[in-house]
Amino acid sequence: MAVKKILEFGDETLRKVSHPVEKFNLRLNLLLRDMADTMYKAEGVGLAAPQVGILRRVVVIDIQDDHGLIELINPEIISAEGEQAGPEGCLSKPGRRGYVVRPQRVTVRAQDRHGKYFELTGEDLLARALCHEIDHLDGHLYIDIEDHEVTEEEEE
Ligand code: NI
């Protein structure tokens, strides 16, 4: 178990564009392990490598459904449909949420930890998480596109 420090909004690393992963090696496996440990410890549903200071195109997601832990290397959104609007947060700013419009359904093409390509389609929360985490790889944060900050009253 290796829990990493999560960088907070304002840290310039979060604004950088991450590099593609080219080597599917032990170092990548250790990064994936540490990212999952860090995400679970923080009780989040997703984490991108730049949030732990690593500028590589790596994402982990677990929305606590049948998918279990999803590992995405070099992910790209290849199609998006529909629209959903709702509150969204980020482990880089615990406690804060913004009202963000996202696609209702997205399909992602990515590589697994061995370098093998696969496609994954997600709806609702999974679509939101996929968009949010992949945005991190280009230095984009939900606060850039939110309509407004969600207050506690609005959540209820
Ligand atoms: Ni985030």
pLDDT, tens digit, for every residue of 97-143?
Answer: 999 999 999 999 999 999 999 999 999 999 999 999 999 999 999 99
C-alpha to C-alpha distance for 131 and 128, rounded to whole angstroms: 5
- The residue extents of the domains of the chain are 12-155
CA triple 115-117-120, angle to 5 deg: 130
Of 149, 133, 155, give the one whose Cα is nearest residue 44: 133
Checking if the pLDDT of 155 tops 70, the result is: no
Residue with tokens 């880089």: 92
What's the pLDDT at 112?
Answer: 98
What's the pLDDT at 43?
Answer: 97
C-alpha to C-alpha distance for 51 and 42, rounded to whole angstroms: 12
Q: Band of the pLDDT at 156, cuts 50, 70, 90? A: low
Those residues whose beta carbon sits under 5 angstroms from the ion ligand 1 are: 90
Give 140 Cα–ligand 1 centroid separation in angstroms: 9
Q: What is the pLDDT of residues 26-71, one digit of tens each?
A: 999 999 999 999 999 999 999 999 999 999 999 999 999 999 999 9
Q: Band of the pLDDT at 153, cuts 50, 70, 90? A: confident
Give 116 Cα–ligand 1 centroid separation in angstroms: 25
Return the CATH class of domain 12-155.
alpha beta
Give 63 Cα–ligand 1 centroid separation in angstroms: 14
Active-site amino acid positions:
133
Burial class from Cβ neighbours inside 10 Å (0-12, 13-18, 19+) for residue 112 reads middle
Q: How many CB atoms lie within 10 A of CB 57?
A: 23
**Residue 108 near residue 126, CB atoms below 8 Å:** no
- Furthest CA-CA distance within the chain: 47
What's the pLDDT at 54?
Answer: 98
**Residue 18 near residue 137, CB atoms below 8 Å:** yes
C-alpha to C-alpha distance for 156 and 62, rounded to whole angstroms: 24
Give 14 Cα–ligand 1 centroid separation in angstroms: 9
- Backbone dihedral region for residue 115 (phi beyond 0: left; psi -120 to 50: alpha; all else: beta): left
Query: With the C-alpha atoms ordered 74, 8, 148, 95, is the resulting torsion angle positive or negative?
Result: positive
Task: Using alpha carbons, list the distances in angstroms from residue 73 to 58, 113, 121.
Answer: 5, 7, 15
Give 40 Cα–ligand 1 centroid separation in angstroms: 14
* Residue type (1 letter), 111: Q
